[in-house]
Amino acid sequence: MADLTEIFLDEAQELLEQMEPLILELEKAATVGTLEELFRVAHTLKGSAGVAGISGVHALAHQLEELLDCLRAGELKMNSELADALLEGFDVLRSLLEKLAQGRDEQPPPALLGKIARLAAVDPAQTCEETARGGEEPPGARVPPLEDSDKLLLQKALADGRNVFYLELDFAADFFHRGHNLDYLLEDLSELGEIVGLRLDGRKVPPLSAIEAEEYYLFFSLFVITEEDLQAIADVFIFVLDEKNKLNLWPVSPADLGALGPRQKAAPPYRVEHAQEVLRQQEKALAAASTEVLPGLTASVWKIIRRVADSFGLSCPFSEGIQSDSQAEKELLSRAIADLKEQLKEAAGIAAGDKKEAEKSVTPDREAVTFSREKARPQSFLKVSRDTADALLNLAGELIIAKNALPYFIKNLEAAGREDLARDLKEKYGYLDRIAREFQERVMDIWLLPIAQIFDRFPRFVRDYSKKANKKIHLVCEGKETRLDRNILENIYEPLLHIVRNALDHGLEEIEERQRKGKKPEGILLLRAYRLGERVVVQVADDGRGVDGDALAQKAIAAGLVSSARAAEMSYAEKVNLLFAPGLSTREAVSELSGRGVGMDVVKETTERLGGTVQVESEPDRGTTVTLALPFTLATNEVLLVNVGGGLYGIPLAAVRETVRYARRDLKTVRGRALAVLRNEILPVSFLHRCLGAHESEAEEITLVVLWQKVALSVDRVLGKEEIIIRPLTGELKKVPLFLGAAVLGDGRVLLVLEPNVLAKEAC
Amino acid sequence: MLREIDRKLSSEQRVIFTEPGLDAAGLQLIIALKKEFPELEVVLTGGGPGALFLSLLKNEVTVRAEDFSR
């Protein structure tokens, strides 16, 4: 694949990730900020596709950009149909990129292009209606009458086939603060054509005694006669425009001259940080370009960076065309780009208010510029293969384990009376410990990803489902920034999808049913994630009808999973837990139920395979909450070291809720099962000695290790915790489900690690 | 600084800008000046950038040199 295409694919992927949530946000509330951001994404995608020569993506992105531009100009109003079209466009873009990754630059379906084009066409009746309703004064109404000489000049230009544009420069008070220079802008404009009929509205300028010298008060209007197109004119202002600094720009036809202004066509707004991004792209393109394409590429890069320099009033430090070969020119260009980036940083610094005077400026402005400056600093990335990342993670884990051996040596040295050596080693160990931990944290950064990567897939899913099922659903995502191991993240999407689908299908009621129950018509679906010690808790909750325990029990009886007598004794919570019974987890079985159940056994199986647990809590007509508790990483495990009958065992710390000392005489026995009562919570107790066939002490006080699954394990002593790498067992031991694996401790001893999910089920 | 200029100007009849050329900041300063002191004569020095801006003030100021081209 060509290097440029590869670069484009990387960037396009990032842009697409931003696109879908923005469309969904826009559908909910069409704010200017969201619209502008979405427009910027579509515009950048179009531009990048153009540079890389990807015609299919370019064509579709261009159409979407046009549609968004109509929304920005107020010619269209956001509605469900538009959202559908934008989302369809997004889907096709994604598919085009997938094809491109396989080496095929496919074209978007003409039907979709036609549909978007039809939507983007302005309905004149709608515009007239809005004007008649007394909307905002049309911009053209502010156009001052033209002098006859200017009018003749413009008419002649149009008659000669040249383009005429009318511009209004509506810049904000902080125009100077931001380091913009109107002289340069007009100079750039005059390089593209002839400026005619420049008008100044100085009404906002206060008298001298009230003026703030660093504030901008002017409003200009002008015509430009040019051979260039509208985009080229707009591009002169690309680094000035934002929400406050506006440009009204539209083409002028012969009919417009002498009449009120033509219909507004706003130029795309850009922010200052875009300049850094543009330069970064040029750097990447240069770095990736082969010798054959360099001659053509360097010319266009020169043009682009010169425009960046001009737009900021910066000096382009080197000249093009003086190098004898393209390789040398490439190096020169790279230096020029680096220099410009530095200049931009400085320019941003001035705009941010480095001068004392600027310190007095309004805080929000200063914050905004500071933010731009941060954003402008490009972060460089390096591609690392998954195998390398895997190996790094394993090595980091091994390093932690290896350094854990040192405290044992230190103890041995102390025991042998070599205090001096022990002290030295302790000091070195402290240093090594710090480095090893930081190294592991850095490597973990590669592997820990925010759960937003999963949660962000649901808004679209829920939106499409609601539309199809005629249900109103409000999706709430909390804790999207919670990070967890990439390996876990990749495995929990399917289980979460099962749970969400069940909530939508079976949990949340139709509008009418909710109203009958006195509920709000809009059901709530909550996705929440948070870190709890060594675990990441992920919850899916709804305020729907809850699980129908009796119907579930009937199904279980029919499936032969429980007897009628047992079912009659079951509490509601026990019936709810039947959801996880494999026999009930078929679509046919649950489709007749009012509750949930599809694939819940698979959910459980997957969660437990990852070292996690799953729980369901439900209340009829109040809703259901499914809680997954997952280890936040699979790289290393912290285990609780426990002594049971003289043997040493490990229990994954992520599975442990707490440890408590408990008086043996306070244990209760119900139906032959020992129970402990902790803070009014009844917990079944398993004696690990019995599970492991070890000698059980008769001590009056026992130690209970309470698991998240609400089961207490009785052990002799808790010895502390240690970080280990769990290795799978081999041979006969592999067949014993009680053991999760084994690990070698720092002092060389082998530790058997117990499987908490099995322990929770075993009653011993 | 502006307040100081403002105080001094109340007794003056003419202000001469000696720096050649005119930029946007100068332009709005002259407008502010004329708003506060409509009778004050403003004289600009020719040369330097800003011919476009000068054309906007042609009825407001006196220009000492004709050459405003860059």
| DSSP result, A50-73 | HHHT-HHHHHHHHHHHHHHHHHHT
CA distances from A227 to A164, A183, A193, A197, A232 (A): 9, 22, 7, 18, 10
pLDDT digits (tens, 9 = 90+) for A140-154: 434 556 777 888 888
Q: How far apart are CA A384 and CA A381, in angstroms?
A: 9
Among A247, A244, A308, residue whose Cα is nearest residue A274: A308
Confidence at residue A462, expressed as pLDDT on a 0 to 100 scale: 92
Cβ distance A140 to A331 under 8 Å? no
Average pLDDT of the segment spanning A528-557: 90
Model pLDDT, residue A478:
94
How confident is the model at residue A523, as a pLDDT? 94
Res A684 pLDDT > 60: yes
- State how far the Cα of A383 lies from the Cα of A379, in Å rounded to an integer: 13
Range in A225-234, A745-754, A755-764, B3-12 the model is least confident about: B3-12
Assign A366 to helix, strand or coil.
Answer: helix
At residue A131's C-alpha, the angle toward residues A126 and A133, to 5°, is 95
Residue A373 pLDDT exceeds 50:
no
**B53 in Cβ contact with A181 (< 8 Å):** no
CA distance B63 to chain A (A): 19
Run of H or E residues at A35: helix A32-52
Q: Which B residues in the span 5-24 are in contact with A, Cβ-Cβ below 8 Å?
A: 5-6, 9, 23-24
Query: Rounded CA gap, A657 and A532, in Å?
Result: 10
Considering CB atoms only, which of B25, B32, B52 is closest to A208?
B32
With an 8 Å Cβ cutoff, are A183 and B49 in contact? yes
Q: Can you give the pLDDT at residue B10?
A: 66
Q: Do A209 and B3 make contact, defined as CB atoms within 8 angstroms? A: yes
Quick check: A557 pLDDT over 70? yes
Q: What is the pLDDT of residue A292?
A: 62
* pTM score: 0.50
Average pLDDT over residues A480-498: 88
Q: Are A39 and A69 in contact (CB under 8 A)?
A: yes
Residue A202 binned pLDDT confidence (cut-offs 50, 70, 90): confident
Averaged pLDDT for residues A72-84: 84
For A427-458, what is each residue's pLDDT tens digit? Answer: 999 999 899 888 888 888 788 889 998 998 89
Would you say residue A186 has pLDDT above 50? yes
From the candidates B3, B19, B28, B68, which should be mutated to test the interface with A, based on the most A CB atoms within 10 A?
A: B28
For residue A467, which of A112, A87, A37 has the smallest C-alpha distance? A87
- Interchain contact, B32 vs A206, CB within 8 Å: yes
For the segment A250-290, what is each residue's pLDDT rounded down to a tens digit? 777 776 675 433 333 333 333 456 677 777 777 877 777 66
Tokens 């769990």, residue located: A726
A209/B contact by beta carbon, under 8 A: yes
Query: Could you read off the pLDDT of B21-69 as tens digits, one per residue?
Result: 788 888 888 888 888 888 888 888 777 777 788 888 877 777 775 444 4
**Pick from A82, A65, A76: nearest CA to A122:** A76
Beta sheet of A637-644, edge-to-edge order: A717-724, A637-644, A647-652, A750-754, A739-744
Cβ of residue B58 closer than 8 Å to a chain A Cβ:
no
* Angstrom distance (rounded) from CA A738 to CA A322: 75
A208 touches chain B (CB under 8 A): yes
CA atoms within 13 A on the CB side of A577: 10
Q: What angle do CA A521, A527, A530 make, to 5 degrees?
A: 145
Mark A2-29 as b/e (b = at least 16 C-beta within 10 Å): eebbbbbbebbeebbeebbebbbbbbee
Instruction: Write down the pLDDT at residue A360.
Output: 32
Do A596 and A502 contact (CB within 8 A), yes or no? yes
User: Residues in chain B, how many?
Assistant: 70
pLDDT score of A134 more than 70: no
Percent of chain A with pLDDT over 90: 22
What pLDDT does residue A583 have?
63
Give the span between the Cα atoms of A692 and A341, in whole angstroms: 66
